[in-house]
Structure 1
C-alpha cells in the first residue's frame, strides 16, 4: 500500500509541476491542453466507439488448481463494424482490436482498478492526448476519452498500461492486448485471412503453488529486468496449434517485460517475415531465426504445405548470449529458472489436415518509401539517445524521466525528419551532445528534481552494458545502420542474423556496445511524445524521456 500511496503523491507533484511549466510556455500549453480528464468532443464524428475498462479479475491459466488473480481489459462495442472486437476465451489478455485505416475512433476508458492507470496504443500514430502519456493517468473510478483517426497502414500493434511507476507490474498482471490495422493495399494481397490469420502473443510469467502470479521487486532483478520461468502464448502455457498443410499468418508480439526471444524452428527451417512492428514490408524477408525484443512485433508467414499429416514442428527461442552484463549474461537472474538467452520451446504446431488450396508467398507486398540521411535536416548532428546504467539507475542521455522537463535537443520542429543516434554511453561518449546544448527544463531552466543531477560523462561509478529495446512513441521510424564494432564479436554473432531492419519500426533492440542510427519523421501532431527502454522495469525506474514537437 505504501508503494501506491507514494505513487499518488508523486503523481500529484509531477502533474502540478508539469502544469506550471506548461502555463509558463504558451506553445507548450496549447499543445498539451489543460485538464487531464475529457468528455467526448462534439465535433468529432466517430466511426467506431468502444467502452474499455481495466479491472481486477480471474483467469484460468494453469490447469488443475485455482484460477489466477489478474488485471484485465474488457471492452464493449458501442458503434462500428461487428468484427472490431474479438475476445480470447477465458483469457486475461484484452480483446483483439481490429481497425481500418481512415476510421475515426473514440474510446471511453474506465479505470475500475484500485490504483491509477492509462492505456498506450503502442504502434499507433495518434495525437498526444490519445497516446497514453502518463500525465493523463487517471485514478480509480475515473474515465478518460481517447479520440483519434487511424493513420497507420496495415500492420500489427498492441495496447497496454502506461502509468509511470506502475507499467511493468500492470502489464505483467495482464493489462495488454493486440491491435490489427487493415488497409486497401493489404486487401489487394492474397494473404492468409480468417482462421489462418492468428495471434502469437509471447510472454513469460512466474507462478506460485496456488497458480498465483509472482512479481518480485528486489532491486537486482529490477535492474536486469523481470524473467519468468513459464512461457505463455496467447495467455496459455504449453501452447499447441492444430494447422493444415497450407500457409498461415501469425502475428507475433513480444509482450514480456524484459525477455528477448530468438525465434527459430527446431528442424532449422528458415523463418519468413512479411511485416515488422506496425507495418508490412516492401517484400518478404527470410532469416535463419528472428530476434524479437519486448515491444517488437513481426508478422510471420508460416507455410506447412508439403508437411506430412501427423508431423509436429516446435517453435523455439534459440540460445544466444551477451544480452546481460557480466555473470548475468550467461545465466540470467538467480531468481529465474529460465535464463535470458536460454533455449526453450515456445509453441508446438501439429499438422492434422491435408488441403490443396493455399496462398503463395507474394514476391512484393506494399509500396514503401525508403528514407535516408539526405531526408533529414541534421545528418551531421544526430539527436542522441545514450544508454547507461549508473549508480543503480538506468538512464537516457544521463537523465531520468521527469514529467515537466524537456532538454533543448528534445525539442523538434513539427514536420521535420530527424536522424537519431542510439548508443551505449561509457562516461565520455556523450559529452559532445551536452556541451552548449542547454540541457535543462522546458524553456532552458537548469536540471534538477528527478533527473540524474549530472550530465553524460563524469557521473562516475560502474557502467553496465546490456541489451535495451528502445521504443519511440509517435510515428514509426526506419533503421539507417547498425555499427557492431564495439560489441563482443562472439556474443553478437549469436543474434546478428535475426534483425529485420528494412521496414517501419517503433522499437529497436540495441545490443551491448552496439550503435544504431535511425531516421524518424515528426509529423502531424504537436505535443509531448515519449521515448524509453521497453524493458518495463527500466521504464519504471526512469529510463524514459520525451520529445516536444512544436
Structure 2
C-alpha cells in the first residue's frame, strides 16, 4: 500500500523545478542512444521508468527527488533586517588578479560562526572587473584542505585555463591563468568544478562575479556606480543544522539539493537601500538546483537589458523573469516612482519576499537608458545550418544521461572546429513522472538560441547565452561557436545532476 501511494505521488508531479545539460559522441549522430555501459537494472529504471522492481526505500528516495522539485521546500520571507552585503570590487593590478580559495567562518546568524568557503575571504567571493581587449592573469591558489578547480563560467577562454575537472589544484598549489579578454560587456561568474565535489564546494560558499566592460557599455548611460545604482545579486538557498552549520551530505538530494533558507549575497534576511532613481540589478541564480522567478510585489514592470553574456538589442519590458541555476540577467528597476513609505520588494513566483527595498529619498538621479544597446542577431545563415550534433537529456537522480551515456573524463563526446558555427539540437526526454527542467550549460563559449520547439525564442532570450533552460519534452536549437581551442564541458547545471554524470566533453580543434 505504501509503495502504491508513493507511486501515485510521483505520477502526480509533472511540473518540475530544477536544471540540467547535455552531451553526445561523434559516433552517435543517429537517434539510437548507446546504453551499452549500463546494467540491466539501470536500463529497467531508465527505459519507460519501470519501477516495478524497486524497493520502498528506493521509491522513497525518488519521491524525495522529483516530488521535492514539484513542491520544493518553501523559502523564508526576508524580514529585511540586514543590509545586503556587497562583495569587494577587484580589478587587475599590473594585469594580475589574485584569487585564493579558502576556508573560514562567517557570522550568517547573529552571534554564531558558520564554517564556510570563500574566495579572498571566508564566504563567497569578489566581483572581478575586467575590460575587453585587456591581457589578464588570474593568479589562483588553493588554500582549502581538499582539491578544487577555478572555472570561469561564461568566459571565452582557452580550454587549458577554463578550470574544468581536468585542471585540478591540490591543497597549497597555485596556477596562473593567462588570457586576453575577447568578449563584450557582460555579467559572468566563477565557481569550482572538481568531479565529485563541485556541488558541495559551491554549497559551502565558493562563488563570485566577473564583470566584463567594453567601449559600448560606457556609452549607453546605464547605471554603473558600483554599490550605488549597480548591484551584483546572487540568490542561493541552503539548509542549516540546529547548530547553524552547513551539512551538505545531510541535505543532499540526488535530483538537486534545495534548501529552506534564502541567502542573498550570503546575507540572511537582507534588504537593499536604493535611491529614487533607476537601479541596475545583476541577477545570478547561484543555487544548486532551485529555479527563481523574480517579480516586483506590486506587479510593476521592469526592464531587462542583458542575458548571460551580453546586452539585448533594446530594453525589454517584463513583469517577471525566471532564471534556472547558472543563468544571469541584468534588469533595470525605476525606483523614482516610489518613496520611503513604499513597501516594494523583489519576490518569487509564490510571493515569498526575496529582497525588500528601502528608498532613500535624499538620493535621486535622472538616468536615461539608451533605446539601442546591442546589434545581436541570429543570421539567416545560422538559421539554415543543418543540425550536426543531437543531444538527449534523460533520467533522474543518479541515473542521468546525455545520449544514454554518463560522464567519462577520458572520453571526448564531440569535436568541433575552432571558429566554426554548428547547430546543436538538445531534446529533454520526459519520463513517466514528467521529467525535470534542465539548465544546459556549455563551457568556453556564448551561444545563440536559434529556436525553441521550432519557434523563435522570446525577447528575453534574444541575446548571448551560456546556460539555457530546457523543459521536459522541449527541443532547443543552439548556434554554437568556440573562439578558442581546448576541451570544454557541457552539462546540466543542476549541480547534483552534473556530478551524477549528466555531463560530456567537446574538443575544439
Which interval holds the TM-score relative to the shorter structure?
0.7 to 0.9
| 2:149 alignment partner in structure 1 | 118
1:204 Cα deviation from its structure 2 partner: 0.6
Distance 1:243 1:110 in 2: 36
Provide the TM-score with structure 1 as the length reference.
0.72
Distance 1:314-1:356 versus aligned 2 partners, 3 A rule:
closer
Cα gap change, 1:62/1:478 in structure 2, threshold over 3 Å: closer, same or farther? Answer: same
- 2:390 is aligned, of 384, 389, 398, to 384
Is structure 2 residue 251 aligned with structure 1 residue 291?
no
TM-score, normalised to structure 2, is: 0.78
CA distance, structure 2, for counterparts of residue 544 and residue 148 of structure 1: 25
Deviation at 1:373? 5.6
Q: 1:268 aligns with which of 299, 322, 328?
A: 299
- The equivalent residue for 2:489 is 530
Is the counterpart of residue 475 in structure 1 residue 445 in structure 2?
Answer: yes
Distance 1:129 1:463, change over 3 A: farther
User: How far does residue 406 in structure 1 lie from its aligned partner after superposition?
Assistant: 1.5
Aligned residue for 1:365?
A: 373
CA drift at 1:213: 1.3
Decide whether the 8 Å contact of 2:238 with 2:258 is kept in 1: yes
Residues of 1 paired with 2:337 and 2:481: CA distance? Answer: 43
Distance 1:381 1:50, change over 3 A: closer
**Are 1:150 and 2:156 matched, yes or no?**
no
Looking at structure 2, the residues matched to 511 and 127 of structure 1 have their Cα atoms a distance apart, in angstroms, of 31
Task: Name which structure has the greater RCO, CA cutoff 8 Å, separation 6+.
Answer: 2
For residues 127 and 397 of structure 2, the distance between their equivalents in structure 1, rounded to whole angstroms, comes to 41
Mean Cα deviation higher: 118-127 or 310-319: 310-319
* Equivalent position of 1:414 in the other structure: 418
Which residue of structure 2 aligns with residue 549 of structure 1? 508
Secondary structure at the aligned position of 1:416 is classed as coil
Q: Provide the residue aligned with 2:408 in structure 1.
A: 402
Q: Deviations over 1:52-101 (max 9, x none)?
A: 211210111122x32110111118xxxxxxxxxxxxxxx61111111111
CA distance in 2, matches of 1:56, 1:208: 19
Unmatched runs of 5 consecutive residues or more in structure 2 = 1-91
Q: Is the 8 A contact 1:203 1:254 kept in 2?
A: yes
1:501 aligns with 2:465: no
- Cα deviations across residues 446-466 of structure 1 (Å, max 9, x unaligned)? xxxxxxxxxxxxxxxx78610
**Counterpart of 1:136 in 2: which secondary structure?**
coil
| Structure 2 equivalent of residue 466 of structure 1 | 436
- For 2:260 and 2:147, the matched residues in 1 are separated by 28
Aligned residue among 115, 138, 142 for 1:69:
115
Deviation at 1:510, TM superposition (A): 0.7
Instruction: Give the SS at the match of 2:496.
Output: helix
The residue aligned with 2:236 is 203
SS in 1 for 2:460: coil
1:242-253 alignment to 2 at 5 Å? 242-253=273-284
Q: Determine the C-alpha separation between the residues in 1 that align with 2:195 and 2:250.
A: 15
Per-residue deviation, 1:371: 2.2
Q: Does 1:58 align with 2:113?
A: no
CA positional deviation for 1:357: 2.5
| 1:426 CA displacement | 5.7
